[in-house]
Every structure is written in C-alpha cells, then in structure tokens.
Structure 1
C-alpha cells in the first residue's frame, strides 16, 4: 500500500509552539519525534511504500546529527521515497544513500530532486515539495507539502504534510504524524472538489 506525508521536520526546535507554521503543542522535540514515529508505524506496515514530500528534518550536516536522524528514520516502517524539500540538502541525501539498507528486496530509501508522477484512481498525481499549478484539469492533482498549516486555494492541490488543514476533509480524527493512504488522498480530492463547487 502507498502512503503520503511531508514536513515532518524532525529535530526542529523552532517548529514547536510556532503557530505561524504549525500547531505542534509538544513539550519537547523528542516528544514530537516519537509521536510521528508512533503514528507512522501504527498506520504503515513494513511492506508499504511511503512518499515523503520534503523537509525531513532540520539538522546540521555534522556526522553526529546525520547519524541521529538516520537512526530515527530506520525505525519507520516501509520503504521511503524522499522528494527534496527546501530544508533537505545533498549532504543529507548522500549520507542516507551511503547508509541505506535493503527492505522488501529494494533500498529502504530512494531520492528525487524535484518530484514524481503517480497514476491511481483515474488521477494523475504530481508529487512535489512546493505547491505547483497543474491547471484546472479533470484528472490532474498536485500532492505537496511546504506550506504546513495552510491550503492552496485551488481544488487541484492537496497538502499532505503532517500539519495539513485538509485532513479535515477525511471527516475523522487522525493522530498527528499519520501518513495519508491512497484512499485518504482520493477522499480529500473528492471532498475538496465538492467544497469548492459549493463556493462558486
């Protein structure tokens, strides 16, 4: 099964209690990190694929910090495809690639600089970190992160970040840090389109 997420910002002290970007009310960064790991692993099976649309963490390029992040990422279930965010650098990607392991017969981590395209449920999904305009097309949807607790004012854009307000389109409560499944994505697309048709 495929899952989607973005903007985990592991080890980023400035994101806790920062309403400008997110509504992360944790006492410590460690508590936030553990909540994301627990929510991820409660939803994602070891055999699943997760598309992480950027901003994995906010750390320096010091070996100790890279090792600490690697240790955390190895605890996450499934294979992870990382699409580069504005806080992700080549040093991080090279480090993860150098210390990659095999899971389900393929690399645990794969990497893309800009984005990828997936097709399912009769849609073309363009997966990017930054929101992009795909145009008013019946079957083109942009899944993105970057804008944290905001939504693009277009029905064709879905924010899949951990802070996304568009999770409200699921009509159920999900724990912070839970990646979205394909079914969740289709429901978010459907409900956002209905919402925007009502506004016309």
Structure 2
C-alpha cells in the first residue's frame, strides 16, 4: 500500500505546545518523536511505501554526523520504504548521509530521494507530490499533495495538505492519530470532501 505524510519535524523543539501554526501538545521532542513513530508503525507495514513530502526533522549539531545519525535512527524505526521529497528544512547533506547508509528493503532501497517532487497515478487521477503547494490552475484530474503550511489549507480544492498538522483531516470520516500517514483511501476522502465543500460555497 501507499501512504503520504509531511512535516514530521522530528526533534523540532520550537514547535512544541499549542499554536495556530502547528498544534503539538507535547512536553518534549522525545514524546513527539515517539508518538509519530508509534502511530506510523501501527498503520504502515514493512512492505508498504510512504511518501514523505518534506521537512523530516529540524536538528543540527556540530559535528553534523551526530544529528544526521539521530535522524537516520528514527527513520530506520519507521515501517516501509520511504520516498523522501526535499523540504525547505531538509538539507542535501542529510540526504547524502541517508543515501550513504541506504539498504535494501522489499527488493528496493529503504530510501528514495527527490529534490522537487514526483508524480503518481491512481484511480483516474494524477497526484503531484511536492513539499510546497503548487498552483496548477483548473485541472480537475490533477491533485497536488503537499506539506509546508502546517495547520493551514490552500483555498483551492485541488490542493491537499498531507502534513501531520493538516486541518484537512476534517474531511475524513474517522480521526487519524497524530503522525500516522494517510492512505490513498483517506486521500480520496479529503479530495472529495474538499470538492464538495467548495461546491456548497457557490
């Protein structure tokens, strides 16, 4: 199965607490990290693929290999093959470190990397997967899955925020635990729910 997420921001202490930007009611980054890991692994199996649309972590040390190893250790705890799309807080040095420590899982690399984004097709739709929201114009069969804006939503029905802080979970019939990636079925619910919401506004 395929899953989607963004903006995990592992180790990002400044995001802790309740705010309009990124509500994260945790006392420590360790609590936040573990909550994401637990909820991720409860939903995703080792044979699944998760598309992470940027901003994996915010943790920098000197020497850099200390923080890079800490991020790698967390990613190795997460089930599935990870397709990583570079966010504004993901530097190329981290991607190079992850690639250097890559390994085979399910007959393919644990980590796959994209600087800008990638495209998948499912159920007669095309999904453009990017970190930043894209303005695609009127293209009803093309959906942009993105992160970056945390607890905000783009006022365009073809843009779906899949970050862990997204408010667009309001379109889902069941609550998704914090940090659990979204399935294609849940993405479909968000797309249809946002479309119906926009149609009601006419």
**TM-score scaled by length of structure 1:** 0.98
Aligned to 2:81: 79
Aligned to 1:42: 42
Could you tell me which runs of 5 or more consecutive residues in structure 2 were left unpaired when the two chains were aligned: none
- State the shift of 1:20 in Å: 4.1
- State the shift of 1:68 in Å: 1.0
Aligned to 1:103: 105
C-alpha distance in 2 between matches for 1:183 and 1:175 = 16
Q: Which residues of 2 match residues 60-139 of structure 1 at below 5 A? A: 60=60, 62-139=64-141
**TM-score scaled by length of structure 2:** 0.97
Aligned to 2:174: 172
Could you tell me which runs of 5 or more consecutive residues in structure 1 were left unpaired when the two chains were aligned: none
Deviation larger for 79-88 or 133-142: 133-142
Matched, 1:157 2:159: yes
C-alpha distance in 2 between matches for 1:18 and 1:152 = 21
Alignment size in residue pairs = 200
Deviation per CA, 1:133-185: give whole Å up to 9, x if none: 11122201000000000000010000000000001101211110010001111
- Counterpart contact for 1:121–1:186, Cα < 8 Å: no
